[in-house]
Structure 1
Amino acid sequence: MADELFAPPSYLPKEGVEALACPCGNYKQLTVVGTWGGPLTLQCPCSSPFRATSDAPWAVNLLKRLILWNADVTSELRQLNDLIIEHQTVHQIYRARVTDLVENSAATSAAHDLRALIHAPVPDNSLAPLARAVTRHEERETRPMRLRRALREVRLTPDGQRPRYAGGPLTRYLIRAMTALADSDDRDLVFTEEGRRLLDTIDRVTTDIQQHDPGPTTHR
């Protein structure tokens, strides 16, 4: 609701990553058409031709990213690597503040520490299950295969349906990076310098999360 004067909204805002899809349900074979700075147009090769154009900021930015991706397939990998490292640092700072508050509350100003936590980012509850899925190794599983399996495990909808992911910025950037590398077999991105660096970053970050926030232990 735009007007909350008479009734409060009955929903909570959600953030995540969601695959664009045609009304027919297809999301894997969409064609994107557009020029730099212009609106983004989606087309689907279904029996009832679907065509949608948007000049919303997210659509224009997505189109720019796809143009850069088409011109230099490693540009997105470099950007995602930097973003993952940046947000992992923020995550570690928050974790350190919480640890300091718990361990040294008697020797430090609790009020000062609480003020610091108020301005710190909210913990991302989606990180732990994602990290568990990535860090688990199946027999004879290559790194791209492991990423594809992890993406299936953390997806909120069944296989074959449009994938949706919840989570904060670090989770979203990890999902984007994992998707780019898992779907890159035909472009051999995992064998480029940028691809190997991003794979190493994903493994390092998810291992760190798993070690410090392992979550509940399950037995299979």
Structure 2
Amino acid sequence: MAVVADERGSVVVDAGHSPAHARAIQAAMRAAGLPPARWLVYTHHHWDHVWGACAWPDVEIVGQVAGRELLRQEATRPWSHRYLREQVRENPRLGPSFRARALAMDDWADFTILPPTRTFTDELTLPVGVRLRHVGGAHAPDSTVVYVPDARVVLLGDCFYPPPAHLRGPDDGLDLAMMRDLLDDDYEWYADSHGEPTTLAQARQLLSG
């Protein structure tokens, strides 16, 4: 997750992996004196990026159009700890993901999966200047990169990751070609969702090997 804030309101990038996670981020925002969230951006539709959305009040949820129907389908599933166990019994490859979901969710009351309320196809710039760009890729068809020009930061989500574990083949790996294409002299920092941020110089050095 990331928060981009100015006097017009905060842009929250990804919703958190659960309502409890979202509420913890909200508490941290209040403690830091940041303005309330006005926009919630999905970098893609996977659970650990969207399951906290139902705990974000009064926001416009923005996502790439390919994720909307995927999330509508996910919202119809009878999510519960029992359902997670049943799904893993039927398909053991779901185990790592579904066990993580069970650990993240201690309470299913009022939980719902929310598709984006505003979608875009290729690019969209929010009123605060944050730019969204659809890049797709093997990890998720709706993968979106978030550019923050004022801070010279690019938020990558999981766009260059291989497919999720239960869909991954033996030859699937990081999409380094995508990562190279995303490097831009106008941006100094690159942050993916599950790793440490890197500078432009560090990213180029890593990719040159």
Q: Find the structure with the greater CA-based Rg.
A: 1
TM range (shorter): under 0.3
Q: Which has the higher helix share?
A: 1
Greater length-normalized contact order (CA 8 Å, ≥ 6 residues apart) = 1
* TM-score using structure 1 length: 0.20
